[in-house]
Chains A and B, each alone.
Chain A
Amino acid sequence: MDEIAVRFEHVSMAFPGVLANDDVSLDIRKGEVFALVGENGAGKSTLMNVLYGINTPTDGKVFIRGQEVTAFDPKTAISMGVGMVHQHFMLVPSFTVAQNIVLSREPRRGRIFFDNAAAERKTRELVEEYGLEVDPAAPVEELSVGLQQRVEILKTLYRGAEILILDEPTAVLTPQETEELFAVIRRVVRDRGMTVIIITHKLYEVMAISDRVGVMRKGQLVGVRDTADVDEKTLASMMVGRPMLYDELEKTGVPGEELIRVRDLTVRDNRGLLAVDHLSLSVRAGEVLGIAAIEGNGQSELLEAITGMRKPESGTVTIRGADATGKSPGQIRAMGLAHVPEDRLATGLSRDGTVTENLLAGKQRQSQFNRFGIHQRTSTVERYARELYEKFDIRGAGTDVTAGSMSGGNMQKVVIAREFSFDAPVLIVAQPTRGVDVGAIEFIHGQIIDRRNHGCAILLCSADLDEVFRLSDRIITLYEGKITGEFTGPFSKEEIGYRMTGSRQAEKEAAV
C-alpha cells in the first residue's frame, strides 16, 4: 500500500453562518500530485488552510505523515513538513529574495545578528539544487509574478517542506510560465519524493499535471478519481452536480457594419505613462473581438478610453459612426454603448444599494419608470427588476437585499443583466466571469453569444484565456499598449501566448 502523506478524518469547518467544510475524509498519498477542484466557495482553500494551520477545524482530525495534528497554527504545520504557496503571495516587497526565503528561520551570526551572506548562500544552494533560477540579492518588488512564485516555492523548500500546497498557482501566470511551473512540480515530485496538492478550477490543468483529483462541492468532497480515468466534462459535471457540457457555442449570422472604430489611440495611465500606444482596431456588428493580454498591458486603459472613463491623449474613438472621443460616459452610453466594467465592486454596482436599484441604474429616467420625471413608479420598477432577476437566473434572497450581500457570481449576473438589457448595439465586456463559478460562467457565456447573434458588436477583454478563445470571432494580443498579433479561428494557444508576452520571451531565455 502507498504511504499516506495527509489524512483528513471527518473534518468540518464552520464559519459564522457558513459550513465551509462538511465532514471531509480524504487520504493523500506520498509522492503524488493531487488536484483539488471545485467551484468558488466549494471549500477547497478552507480545507487547505486547515492543513496549513490557519483554520482550526470545528470537528474531525488531521494526520500529517501518520502523526495527528494537535495544534493548528502555521508554525506547527511548517515543522511537520507542510508548505503552502498562497494565491496572494506572502512576500515582503522591499526585502531581497534571500531575506524573504529565510524569514523566521534566519541564519545568524553571533546569535543576534542576521547573516545576509549566509542567507544568500543558502538560497543559491537551493536555486542550484532545484534549478529554480532567481537572483538571491534582487528585491522581490522588482521581480515578475512568475519569479515571485518561484521565490514562494523556494521558501517552502527552505523550510523543509515535504508536502507542498499550491493555491490557484496558475491564475496569474502566462501559458509559458504555467508550463515552467508544471516542470518544477514534476521535478520536485520525482527527485525529492514530495507530495504536491494543487488547488485550481482550470480543468485542463488538472488533466495535465495531476495523478489523482478530488472534487469539492458546497463544502463536501463529492469524489476522488484517478486522473487517467476521467475527462474534463466528467469533472465539470461533478463540480456543479449535474451533467455539464462545455460545448461549442452556436454562433450564427455574418458580421455587419463597423460599429466600433478606434484610430491611432494613445492613452496614458494614472502614473502618466504610455498605456495605449497609437492603437487602432474596429469591431463589426455580430462580431466578438477578444483582447488577450496579461494584466497591465493597456487593456484596462483602452476600455476606459472607449467608454469615456479616461481621456485619451490623441487619436479618435468612433461609436456607430459618431465621434465619441473624450465624451463623458453618459454621452457615450446615449450613443448606444453598454459596458460591463472589469471591477464589479468598484465600478460595476453599488454594494449598499438593493438588487432592484442596481438593476434599474441608468434607466431611471426612462418614461415607463416615472411620472413627469419626478415620481417613481415603484410597482413598475419592481416588476421590471423581478423580470430581469428571473431572466438572468440570479440566485439570492430576492430583489430587496443589498447587492453586496450576494455571492460574486450573482453580483456579476446583476451587472450583466443591467447592461445587456439596455439593448445597446455596442457592448464593452471586461472580465465577465472573474471569480464566478462554472454554472454561472456557462450562463454568462450563453448571454454574450446571444447578444452577438442578435447583431451586437462586442469588445471582450478577459484574463481567462479560455474564455477569450471560446467567445471570440477574432482575437488581438496586446503587449505594452501595442497590438502584437491578430488572429482568426482556429486559434493556436501557443502562438497567442507567445504574442502576449511580447519581448519577454527573449528575456526569459537569457535568464535560464
Chain B
Amino acid sequence: MLKTILAAIFSAGTFNQMLRSATPVALAALGGAMTEHAGIMNIGMDGMILMGAFFGVLGSYLFGSAAAGVGLVLLMGVVVGLFFALFVVKFKSDEFIIGTALNTFALGLTSFLSRAIFGASGTKGNPALPTVHIPGLDSIPFLGQVLNDNSLFIYLTWLLVLVMWLFVYKTPYGFWLRASGEKPETLRTAGIAPEKMKWLASILCGLLCGLAGAHLSLGQLQGTFAENMANSRGYIAFACVIFSKANPAMAYIAALMFGFFDAIGLRLQDYISSDLTNTIPYIITIVMMVYVVVRSQRKKRYAGKRLPAKQG
C-alpha cells in the first residue's frame, strides 16, 4: 500500500502536475513581486487573475482564437493595473481596502458577464493555447515526460522569470523600482518621481496576473471559464512573494513548492478523502509563512547584535 502511494507520489505525472499547478501562481507572484518592490501591499492579485481568466476566454470566444484572447487579457491587464494604481498611488487609498475591493469587484463582474454571455454553466471548449512539443526531449527518460508537451505559458513563464529577475536586479529601472518602495524620498531627491515607478509596477502586476488567469482558462483548462476559478491562487501568490522577498527566481521556486504539494494532494485522492488532500497546499503555505516570520525575527536579532559594534 505504502509502496503504491509513494510510487504514485514520485511519478513523472506528479512532477508534470507540479509544473501545471505552479505556473499560474508563479506568473501572479512575478506580478506581485513588482508591486511588493514598489512598496505596495497588493492583495488584489486574486481579482486580477480572475479578470485575466475571464477576458481570455471571452476574447477567444468572440474572435475565435486564443491569441486574440491573450491580446484582450493584456489590454485588460493594463486597465486593471491603471485602475489599481489610480486609487493606491494617485489617491493614496488604503492598499488593503482597494485590494479587497478589486477582488470582490472582479468576482462580481466576471460572474455577471459570464452568466449574461455564456449562461449559468459557464463555457468550455473555446480555442485554447497550444501545447509545445520539443523534438528530442522525449528521448530523455522521466525529464522528457515532465518537461515536454506542456502548455505554451509554462515555457513562457521560465522566460518571464529570467526577464523579471534581470529587470529587478540588473537594470537601473529595477534599482529605481526598489528605491521607490524602500525609500521613495531618496528617489525623489535624485530627480525621479517614485510614483512613476509605482504606476509601472501596478501595470506590470496587472499584466502578469492577467497572463496567470489566461493560462488557467485558456491553457490549463482548454478554453473553459467557471465562476471564481482563480480559487485563492492570488493569495497563494502573495504568500510566495513574501516568502521569496519579492525575488522573481525565488518566487518561482516557492510556486513550485506549492505546485508539488498540490500535485501530491491530487494523487492522494485515491487513498484519502479529497477534502483533506485539498488542504495540503494551504497548510504548506501557512508553514511557509511561519518560517518566513521566524527567519526575519532571527535576522532582526542577528542584525541587532551586529549593529552596536558598527554604529557605536
- Residues from chain A with Cβ under 8 Å of B3 in the complex: none
Task: Flag whether B176 is at the interface (Cβ < 8 A).
Answer: yes
Residue of chain B at shortest CB distance from A174 = B312
Contact B189–A74 (Cβ < 8 Å): yes
From B25-33, B43-51, B93-101, B302-310, give the one contacting chain A: B302-310
On whether A90 and B185 interact (CB within 8 A), knowing A106-B172, A114-B170, the answer reads yes
- Chain B: number of interface residues, binned into ranges: 20 to 34
Whether, in the assembled complex, A477 has its beta carbon less than 8 Å from a beta carbon of chain B, the answer is no
State A197–B185 Cα separation when bound (angstroms): 21
A299 at the B interface (CB under 8 A) = no
Please encode chain A, from 476 to 508, with 1 for each CB lying within 8 Å of some chain B CB and 0 for all others: 000110000000000000000000011010000
Q: Would you call A92 an interface residue if the criterion is a C-beta within 8 Å of the partner chain's C-beta atoms?
A: yes
- A276–chain B nearest beta-carbon distance, Å: 13
0/1 string, B165-184, CB within 8 A of A gives 1: 01000111011101100110
Cβ-closest chain A residue relative to B172: A106
Task: For B312, give the chain A residue with the smallest CB separation.
Answer: A504
Give Cα distance in the complex from A105 to B174, angstroms. 13
Interface string of A198-235 (1 = CB under 8 A from B): 00000000000000000000000000000000000000
Contact A92 B188 (CB under 8 A): no
Q: Is chain A's binding surface mostly helix, strand, loop or mixed?
A: loop
Contact of B301 among A86, A92, A272 (CB under 8 A): A272
Q: B191–A113 contact, CB under 8 A? A: no
Contact A92 B311 (CB under 8 A): no
A92 adjacent to B183 (CB under 8 Å)? yes
**Using Cβ atoms and an 8 Å threshold, which residues of chain A touch B305?**
273
Inter-chain contact B176/A104, CB cutoff 8 Å: yes
Chain B residues within an 8 Å CB radius of A502:
312
B187 at interface, CB cutoff 8 A: yes
Q: Is there an interface contact between B182 and A104, defined as CB atoms closer than 8 Å?
A: no
Verify B178–A94 contact, CB threshold 8 A. yes
User: Which residues of chain B have C-beta atoms less than 8 A from A90's C-beta?
Assistant: 183, 185-186, 189-190
Contact partners of A123 in chain B: CB under 8 A: none
User: A103 near B: Cβ within 8 Å?
Assistant: yes
Residue contact A104 to B304, C-beta cutoff 8 Å: no
Contacts A74-B191, A114-B171 given; indicate if A103 touches B186 (C-beta within 8 A). Answer: yes
Structural contact, A273 and B185, CB atoms closer than 8 A:
no
Size bracket of the A interface: 35 or more
Q: Is the CB of B189 within 8 A of A84?
A: yes
Contact assessment for A271 and B179 in the assembled complex, using a CB-CB cutoff below 8 Å:
no
A145 and B311 in contact, given A103-B186, A103-B187 (Cβ under 8 angstroms): yes
**B157-171: which have CB < 8 Å to A?**
166, 170-171
Closest Cβ–Cβ distance, residue A443 to chain B (whole Å): 33
Q: Would A103 and B183 count as touching, CB distance under 8 A?
A: no
Residues of A within 8 A of B171 (CB): 112-114
Q: Per-position contact with B for A71-110: 1 when CB-CB < 8 Å, else 0?
A: 0011100100000101010111111000110011110100
A95 to chain B, nearest CB (A): 7
Q: Does B300 contact A (CB under 8 A)?
A: yes
CB pair B172–A271 under 8 Å, yes or no, is no
Which of chain B's residues have a CB closer than 8 A to the CB of A504? 312
Most A Cβ at <10 Å: residue of B179, B191, B304: B191
A479 to B312, CA, bound (A): 8
Query: Do A273 and B311 have beta carbons less than 8 Å apart?
Result: no
Q: Does A412 contact B (CB under 8 A)?
A: no
B192 at the interface (CB under 8 A from A): yes
B36–chain A nearest beta-carbon distance, Å: 13
Q: In the complex the two chains form, what is the Cα distance from A91 to B184 in whole Å?
A: 10
A470 shortest CB reach to chain B, Å: 24
Judged by a CB distance under 8 angstroms, whether A160 is at the interface is no
- Report yes or no: A143 in contact with B310, Cβ–Cβ below 8 A: yes
Chain B, residues 83-117, CB within 8 Å of chain A (1/0): the string is 00000000000000000000000000000000000
CA–CA, A143 to B188, complex, Å? 22
Min CB gap B245→A, angstroms? 10
Cα(A168)–Cα(B299), bound, Å: 33
Residues of B within 8 A of A95 (CB): 175, 178-179
Q: Please report the C-alpha to C-alpha distance between residue A73 and residue B192 in the assembled complex, in whole angstroms.
A: 10
Chain A residue contacts of B170, Cβ below 8 A:
113-114
Q: Can you list 18 A-B pairs with a CB-CB distance of less than 8 A?
A: A78-B191, A90-B183, A90-B185, A90-B190, A92-B178, A100-B186, A103-B179, A103-B190, A104-B187, A104-B191, A106-B172, A114-B171, A114-B174, A174-B312, A269-B304, A271-B304, A272-B304, A296-B312
In the complex, the 5 A-B pairs of residues with the closest C-beta atoms, listed nearest first: A75-B191, A104-B190, A271-B304, A106-B172, A90-B186
Query: What 13 additional pairs, Cβ within 8 angstroms, besides A104-B187, A145-B311?
Result: A54-B189, A74-B189, A74-B191, A90-B189, A91-B186, A92-B182, A99-B175, A103-B176, A104-B191, A106-B175, A114-B174, A144-B311, A480-B308
